[in-house]
Structure 1
Amino acid sequence: MDTILTIIKDYGWLSYLILFAYCALKSGSLPLFAGIAAQLGALNIFVVATLVFLGGYLGDELRFYIGRKYGVQNLSSRPWYQRSVSAAKRLLAHYGKAYIFLYRYPKGMRTIGALPVALTNMTWTTFTLLNFTSALLWTFAMVGGGYMFGSAIERLVGEHWGVFSVCLLLVFIFVSYIALKQVNKKVAKATDELI
């Protein structure tokens, strides 16, 4: 946390710009640490929450736009395109709303999260409403969690980082394994139905 506080002190208002850009590009722990920094008085909580929300929301809107505008054209010449889009449509028809709410959390998922949604027939209005709500919940969870529980998180991470990181890794691997198994079942079923 000291490193983040030093960066905030060194870069001043640019810290807010970095936070916005980070949240537009990916999801990770920076919004949580920004919430902790706000609790410590280094950042303004309202500015942090606004920028985290706008970065998360607008980043996914841009990815959806890119996927909708260029994805279909670029992928239509690929032989696997029809099967992939059909499978994605079936998965999103079944899990669509949950997918939009969950892809923000696992590391690496958000970078591409909205692209497959754009390749389906989900309307932009539906995506925007779900994306707005998802970004708002993500902001409350990350920034609010950091702000409300910052001291406890900092103590836990500081005193038991090794154990904490291993536990987080194991939980993530377990949840990812279960989720991947379920998704693979649905993809196999959707693909079998297409053939």
Structure 2
Amino acid sequence: MSIELLIENYGLLAIFLGAAFEGETAAFLGGVISHRGLLPYWSASLAATAGSFAGDQLWFLAGRYAAQWRLVRRLKEQPALARATALLEKYPTGFILAFRFLVGLRTISPIIIGTTRIPTGKFVLLNAAAALVWGQLFTALGYLFGHGIEQMLGHLPLHRHLLVAAAAAAVVAAAALVFRKMKLSAGRS
């Protein structure tokens, strides 16, 4: 079975699951794949949106369920989580809309939000709105990146196109993490 056939058969499921558990790379690669014509753009972007929404809802519910566990209470006392919780308590709506765009906070934030008194309905609505923006943005970036690579390098075989896209996504993620650590280090000085 060729990679193209695998993507056509299981690509939307892979984008959904990848967006639910990993995030940006899955949505970005969904855009690259849709640029190649293997999946419709709107299907890929909606799979990324739905995956992001579903994953964050699961983490939120895990936070609700585990809020009273001693381990969770101890974790919330860690400096990074304490800062995230303070931001959440000060700006709950803004935090819920923005956490998925903040490197290093995407997975832990819905758990922390789940441990607070923020109503479930409010989280569902804000999470849906943020997931819609996020899914469209990262899928569009992948689509545009695919177009740019094709303009620069010509029509590459699919596996090379995906490798270039994955490498670019990894470089951007690494740069964001380095920038964040530098910013945190500068703030402690």
TM over 0.5: yes
Structure-1 residue corresponding to 2:28: 32
Structure-2 residue corresponding to 1:58: 54
User: 1:115 is matched by which residue type in structure 2?
Assistant: I
Structure-1 residue corresponding to 2:182: 177
Stretch moving more, 120-129 or 100-109: 100-109
Structure 1, gaps ≥5 residues long: 1-5, 185-195
| In 2, Cα distance between equivalents of 1:100 and 1:134 | 8
- Aligned pair in 2 of structure 1 residues 54, 90: CA closer, same or farther (>3 Å)? same
Maintained 8 Å contact 1:16/1:48: yes
User: 2:70 is matched by which residue type in structure 1?
Assistant: L
| In 1, Cα distance between equivalents of 2:124 and 2:28 | 24
Structure 2, gaps ≥5 residues long: 154-160
Q: TM-score of the superposition, structure 2-length normalised?
A: 0.72
Root-mean-square deviation (Å)? 3.7
Q: How many residues align?
A: 176
SS of the residue aligned with 1:104?
A: helix
Structure-2 residue corresponding to 1:190: none
1:75 aligns with 2:70: yes
The structure whose Rg is larger is: 1
Residue 28 of structure 1, CA deviation: 2.7
| In 1, Cα distance between equivalents of 2:135 and 2:105 | 17
Residue by residue over 1:148-191, the C-alpha shift from the partner in whole angstroms, topping out at 9 and shown as x without a partner, is 442215648989x9999767634541234326776x8xxxxxxx
Residue 146 of structure 1, CA deviation: 2.0
Q: TM-score of the superposition, structure 1-length normalised?
A: 0.70
Structure-2 residue corresponding to 1:151: 147
| In 2, Cα distance between equivalents of 1:103 and 1:15 | 26
